[in-house]
Amino acid sequence: MRSIKSILGLLFLVLLTTYFGYAQSKIGWISSKTVMDKIPEAQDAQRQIDNLVAQWQSELAKMQNEWQKKFQEYDKKKLILTDQLRSESEKELQELDKKIVDYRTKKFGQSGELFNKQNELIKPIQNKIFKVLQDIAKEDDYDYIFDKSGDILLMYSNDKYDLTQKVIERITTLDK
C-alpha cells in the first residue's frame, strides 16, 4: 500500500513539474509578410523578380500568339493542303508547342530560372530575418516564435507578443 502511495505521489510530482514547466514557456509571433513588405531590400528584390516575370510572360504570350496564328492559318487551309503540306504544318505546330512548353518549364518550372532567382535574391533576406529573430528570441527568452503569415494556423494572438515591428527595427538598423 505504501509503494502505491509513493508511486502516485511521484507521478503527481512529475505531472505538476511538467505542468509548471509548460506554463512558463514564452511564445511570440511575427508576420514575415509584413517584415518583407517593410524592408527596402526585399521590395527591390521583389521588384526585380516581378520585372523578370513580366518579361518572360510577355515572351510566352508572343510565342502563344504565334502558335495561335499558325494554327488558324493551318485550320483554314487544311482541307486543301496536300498530305505532305498538312503533315509539315502539323509538325511545325507541334514543334512550336514543344518550344512553348520548354520555355515555360525553363522559366517557371520547379527548378527554373524564377525559382533560382528567388533563391538568389530573397533567400539572403529571409536568412537575415531569421538571424534577427533568433537574436531577439535569445535576448528576450522566447521559447517559441510563430510566423502568422505562414502555413501555421494561428487562431488567436495577443498583440503584446507581436515581434514583427521589433524585427523590422532591428533589420533597418543593421542596414545603416
The model's pLDDT over 21-43, given as tens digits with 9 standing for 90+, comes to 555 788 888 888 899 999 999 99
Split into its structural domains, the chain has a count of 1
Query: 14 pLDDT band (50/70/90 cuts)?
Result: very low
pLDDT in tens, 48-100: 999 999 999 999 999 999 999 999 999 998 889 899 999 999 999 999 999 99
How far, in whole angstroms, is CA 43 from its chain's centroid? 15
Considering the domain boundaries, does residue 18 fall inside one?
Answer: no
Q: Is residue 10 part of a domain?
A: no
Inside any domain, residue 7? no
Kindly state the cell numbers that stand for 161: 507578443
User: pTM of the prediction?
Assistant: 0.69
Cα 29 to Cα 159: distance, rounded to the nearest angstrom: 9
Range of the domain at 37: 27-174
C-alpha cell at 50: 516581378
> What's phi and psi for 30, nearest 5 deg?
-135, 165
Q: Report the distance separating Cα 13 and Cα 5, nearest Å.
A: 12
Name the least confident of 44-58, 99-113, 148-162. 148-162
Q: What is the 3 state secondary structure string of 83-121? A: HHHHHHHHHHHHHHHHHHHHHHHHHHCCCCHHHHHHHHH
Check residue 119 and give its pLDDT. 93
168 is a domain residue: yes
